[in-house]
């Protein structure tokens, strides 16, 4: 098999195009392989000349799977040479058929005088599965790995792809857990793997595989892994952003990469400014923060309720440019190790960035580390530089207030509650799993955009306890709750309304008191209008009048099961009129906040 | 009055930038006479608004006219803005409308 390019290959191709219909098959090196839309282009290099080549979309999968590699050699089997539009001098090749000759060479071929350059991996290119099958069974796994180390990006893996090898770093590791279920006992642990592109995936191992790989898969080390299986990730337990999750069994291959360096991108942070933490209280999602350490407490010992064990804790106060402070509780090793470090440098007011914090509601808003939290002191990132210069110039002197003050989730009618935890409707549409564990509260300003006239808007309610009443045997209405028969019922609203704001729309459920404020009359009155005959449909008019009115809502978000599907349910807890001056002040604050972030 | 160009939102500080040009301002009425009103701008500066004020005035008043000096406006349009008005917000508006977001107003 040739492991070099065809001498003067490109010149041959270009000259033959004009004359015969014979297509000389030439071997070229792939340079500058890059995607353009869903197709790939590259420059074909024959050592002397280069020509642009366009590959059809059908070959894209071969590139992604790593068969066709940059700096590798391919033989062009079928192609046409076309003029580059706007440039009659140059041509480009549209290749319809090619075969891989060699994978990535060390470098671009400059010399075409027949010097054979050794490809990185000395073997004939075949499809990945072909290769694995051909390997004799007695080749030791390590040797086999060395032959077939074509690394696939994590993003290319799927349950339907046969053999792959990934090169990843263990960026997180869970402890071995023992479990007992109907099928028996077992042990399990998971690791979080990150590849060079920054893609992450969770890999789980059970029983024998768990025991086999637990000690091998150490945090921070790089491994070549193959023969794992993929399946769709279970949303409930998802910890990383990936549609799939991996399982390794006893046959999986895990080999440590001892010598080669791997550049795993630095931890990707997604910081939430302290004054926006209110929206994340008691939610499942973990968030990242960055701030100046204003104070560090001594270590405390807290008794864990579940097993009465004493665990160390340390509280630190962080401040950021929003002029708000928040308390972060560091637990276990973070409290003793890192916490002590912070205490020692507290007089320098270090900047720390923390990844994966849980947001709780202690004193309004509180942050807590979890086992997968990752703390970096004085990180070398632009946000830290910005914070440092802000703190040194003005932050140090500014008086700041704790984010939690005035933000208790139980206060639902106070006017203060209308201005904290403020979100736009997009917050609900982009976070479908809000309120999974326990309901979360927000305030939002929106317009009523649609009230369906033909929905069930009310129910017959007991005048005393407001529960639903049923028709009694001969006359009257029976209230199961009061265990009493009533002569009459009152109608109470239970209504679905559609709301809109500049970021999106959502459906809210409103009960009696709130719906009355929205519609402007009681359910009894509205029903009367509905039954009235006449030219003007007063019922529809009333609904129309309520539409496109703007309100300030306090809502709770929870998850409801609907035909075995979880759906977001947003319930209106209170409605109030817009205070334009206060809203304007909020808008002014948002404008100045956006101004500060867009400067960088 | 030439209605082709927009009136710039001004407070006391910004008025001097638009001498000879059309401006609009909301002032808190301090004193009113025949032919003029003395008002406090939203950044607490005193200006005189000349012209024909309406017979009854509320606490806040919006005037639109030509800036004659750095503390006088000759107004053609007078609108009562009621007794409840957030001067702070309006002042911030003036700053934004003449600063970073100027292109959206002029």
Task: Write the DSSP symbol of residue A264.
Answer: P
pLDDT of residue A557: 92
Does residue A112 have a pLDDT over 60?
A: no
Among A76-80, A108-112, A570-574, B28-32, the least confident range: A108-112
Query: Which tokens hold the place of A452?
Result: 């369906």
Residue A131 has pLDDT above 90, yes or no: no
Residue in B89, B96, B100 closest to A581 by CB: B89
Say if residue A464's pLDDT is above 90: no
Selected for mutation to probe chain A from B42, B89, B95 (highest A CB count within 10 Å) is: B89
> Left (φ > 0), alpha (ψ -120 to 50) or beta: where does A323 sit?
left
Q: What is the 3-state secondary structure (H, E, C) of A33-48?
A: EEEECCEEEEEEECCC
Q: Residue A196: name the closest of A167, A227, A165 by CA.
A: A167
Contact at CB, A588 and B92, closer than 8 angstroms: yes
Residues A477-534: tens digit of each pLDDT: 988 888 888 888 999 999 999 999 999 999 999 999 999 999 999 999 999 998 888 8
- Least Cα distance to A70 among A94, A96, A44 occurs for A44
Give yes or no for a contact between B14 and B92, defined as CB atoms under 8 angstroms apart. Answer: no
Q: With an 8 Å Cβ cutoff, is B83 touching chain A?
A: no
pLDDT value of position A309? 83
pLDDT at A22: 66
pLDDT digits (tens, 9 = 90+) for A286-311: 889 999 998 898 888 888 877 788 88
Q: Does A115 touch chain B (CB under 8 A)?
A: no
Segment holding A449, helix H or strand E: strand A440-451
For the residues A350-362, what does the mean pLDDT come to?
88
Q: Which residue of A580, A581, A595 is in closest CB contact with B100?
A: A595
Asked if residues A360 and A399 have their Cβ atoms less than 8 Å apart, the reply is no
Q: Give the whole-angstrom CA distance, residue A522 versus residue A528.
A: 10
Burial label for A492, CB within 10 Å (0-12, 13-18, 19+), is buried
Q: Output b/e per residue, A170-195; b: 16+ Cβ within 10 A.
A: bbbbeeeeeeeeeeeeebebbbbbbb
A-chain CB neighbours of B100 within 8 Å are 595
ipTM: 0.91
Is the pLDDT at B96 greater than 90, yes or no?
yes
Report CB contact under 8 Å: A588, B100.
no
pLDDT of A196 higher than 50:
yes
CA distances from A153 to A264, A485, A550, A593 (A): 12, 70, 49, 38
Tens of pLDDT, residue by residue over A207-218, are: 999 999 999 998
The most confident of the ranges A54-58, A263-267, A546-550 is: A546-550
Out of A364-368, A450-454, B96-100, which region has the weakest mean confidence (pLDDT)? A364-368
pLDDT for A2: 52
By mean pLDDT, which of A244-258, A275-289, B13-27 is the weakest? A275-289
- pLDDT, mean of residues A239-257: 85
More confident residue, A592 or A253: A253
pLDDT of A93 above 70: yes
- A–B interface: beta-carbon pairs under 8 A: 12
For the segment A382-409, what is each residue's pLDDT rounded down to a tens digit? Answer: 889 989 999 888 877 777 777 766 444 4
A420 band by pLDDT with thresholds 50, 70 and 90: low
Stated as kind and residue range, the H or E segment containing A593 is helix A580-598
| pLDDT at B1 (0 to 100) | 60
Query: Residue A591 and residue B96: Cβ atoms within 8 Å?
Result: yes
State the average pLDDT over residues A320-341. 88
| Residue with the larger pLDDT of the pair A264 and A428 | A428
pLDDT on residue A415: 42
Q: A159-168, pLDDT tens digit by residue?
A: 887 788 998 8
- Please indicate whether, in this complex, the C-beta atoms of A585 and B100 are within 8 angstroms of each other: no
pLDDT of A236 > 70? The answer is: no
* Confidence tier at A117 by pLDDT (50, 70, 90): very low
A473 CB within 8 Å of a chain B CB: no
Which residues on A lie below 8 Å from B86 (Cβ)? Answer: 580-581, 584-585
A118 vs A285: which has the higher pLDDT: A285
pLDDT at res. A261: 63
Contact B89 A584 (CB under 8 A): yes
Q: Is residue A467 classed as helix, strand or coil in its secondary structure?
A: coil
Q: What is the pLDDT of residue A599?
A: 42
Question: Can you tell me the mean pLDDT for A177-181?
Answer: 86
Can you list the positions of beta strands (E) in A257-365?
287-296, 300-303, 310-319, 324-331, 351-360
pLDDT of residue A260: 61
Query: How close B89 gets to chain A, by Cα (Å)?
Result: 7
Q: Is the pLDDT of residue A60 over 70?
A: yes
State the average pLDDT for chain A.
82
pLDDT > 70 fraction of chain A, expressed in percent and rounded: 86
In this predicted structure, what is the pLDDT of residue A409?
42
Instruction: Dig out the tokens for A13 from the structure.
Output: 């191709």
Q: What is the mean pLDDT of residues A237-257?
A: 83
Mean pLDDT of A95-112: 79
In this predicted model, what pLDDT tens digit does every residue of B33-90 receive, in sequence order?
Answer: 889 999 999 999 999 999 999 999 999 999 999 999 999 999 999 999 999 999 999 9
Q: Residue B52: phi, psi to the nearest 5? A: -115, 95
Structure-block tokens of residue B52: 């024909």
């Amino acid at each position: 098999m040739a492991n070099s390019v065809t001498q003067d290959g490109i010149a041959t191709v270009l000259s033959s195009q004009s004359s015969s219909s014979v297509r000389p098959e030439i071997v070229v090196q792939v340079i500058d392989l890059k995607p353009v839309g869903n197709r790939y282009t590259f420059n074909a290099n024959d050592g002397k000349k280069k020509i642009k080549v366009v590959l059809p979309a059908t070959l894209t999968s071969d590139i992604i799977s790593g068969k066709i590699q940059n700096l590798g050699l391919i033989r062009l089997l079928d192609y046409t040479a076309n003029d580059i539009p706007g440039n009659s001098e140059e041509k480009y090749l549209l290749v319809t058929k090619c075969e891989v000759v060699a994978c990535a060479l060390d470098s671009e071929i400059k010399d075409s005088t027949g010097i054979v350059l050794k490809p990185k991996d000395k073997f004939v290119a075949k499809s990945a599965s072909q290769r694995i099958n051909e390997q004799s069974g007695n080749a030791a796994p390590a040797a086999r790995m060395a032959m077939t180390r074509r690394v696939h990006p994590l993003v290319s893996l799927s349950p339907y792809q046969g053999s792959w090898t990934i090169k990843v770093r263990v960026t997180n590791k869970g402890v071995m857990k023992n479990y007992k279920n109907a099928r028996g006992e077992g042990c399990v642990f998971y690791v979080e793997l990150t590849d060079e592109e920054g893609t992450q995936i969770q890999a789980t191992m059970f029983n024998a595989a768990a025991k086999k790989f637990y000690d091998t898969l150490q945090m921070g080390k790089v491994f070549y892994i193959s023969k794992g299986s993929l399946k769709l990730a279970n949303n409930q337990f998802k910890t990383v952003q990936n549609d799939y999750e991996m399982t390794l069994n006893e046959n999986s291959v895990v080999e440590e990469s001892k010598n080669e360096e791997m550049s795993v991108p630095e931890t990707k942070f997604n910081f939430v400014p302290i004054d926006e933490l209110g929206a994340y209280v008691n939610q499942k999602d973990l968030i990242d923060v960055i701030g100046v350490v204003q104070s560090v407490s001594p270590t405390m010992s807290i008794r864990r309720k579940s097993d009465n064990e004493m665990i160390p804790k340390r509280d630190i106060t962080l401040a950021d440019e929003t002029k708000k402070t928040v308390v972060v509780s560091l637990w276990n090793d973070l409290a003793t190790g890192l916490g002590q470090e912070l205490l020692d440098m507290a007089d320098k007011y270090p900047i720390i960035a923390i990844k994966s914090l849980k947001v709780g509601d202690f004193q309004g808003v509180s942050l807590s580390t979890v086992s997968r939290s990752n703390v970096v002191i004085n990180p070398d990132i632009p946000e830290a530089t910005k914070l440092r210069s802000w703190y040194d110039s003005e932050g140090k002197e500014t008086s700041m207030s704790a984010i939690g003050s005035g933000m208790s989730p139980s206060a639902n009618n106070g006017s203060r509650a209308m201005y904290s935890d403020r979100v736009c409707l997009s917050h609900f549409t982009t976070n479908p799993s809000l309120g999974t564990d326990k309901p979360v509260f927000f305030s939002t300003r929106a317009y009523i955009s649609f009230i369906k006239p033909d929905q069930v808007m009310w129910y017959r309610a007991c005048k005393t306890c407001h529960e639903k009443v049923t028709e009694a045997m001969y006359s009257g209405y029976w209230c199961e709750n009061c265990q009493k028969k009533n002569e009459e019922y009152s109608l109470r609203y239970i209504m679905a309304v559609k709301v809109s704001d500049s970021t999106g729309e959502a459906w809210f459920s409103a009960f009696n008191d709130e719906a009355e404020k929205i519609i402007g009359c009681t359910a009894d009155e509205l029903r009367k209008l509905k039954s009235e005959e006449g030219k003007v449909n007063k019922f529809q008019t009333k609904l129309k009048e309520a539409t496109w009115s703007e309100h300030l809502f306090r809502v709770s978000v929870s998850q409801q099961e609907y035909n075995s599907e979880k759906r977001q349910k947003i319930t209106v807890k209170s409605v109030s009129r817009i205070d334009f001056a206060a809203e304007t002040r909020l808008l002014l604050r948002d404008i100045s906040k956006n101004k500060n972030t867009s400067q960088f | 009055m030439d209605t082709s160009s927009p009136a710039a939102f001004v407070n006391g500080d910004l008025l001097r930038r638009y001498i000879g040009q059309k401006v609009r301002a909301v002032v808190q009425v301090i004193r009113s006479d025949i032919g003029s009103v003395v008002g406090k701008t939203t950044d607490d500066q005193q200006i005189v608004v000349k012209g024909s004020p309406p017979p009854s005035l509320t606490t806040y008043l919006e005037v639109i006219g030509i800036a004659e000096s750095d503390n006088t406006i000759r107004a053609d349009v007078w609108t009562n803005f009621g007794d409840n008005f957030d001067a702070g917000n309006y002042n911030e508006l003036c700053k934004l409308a003449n600063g970073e977001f100027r292109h959206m107003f002029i």
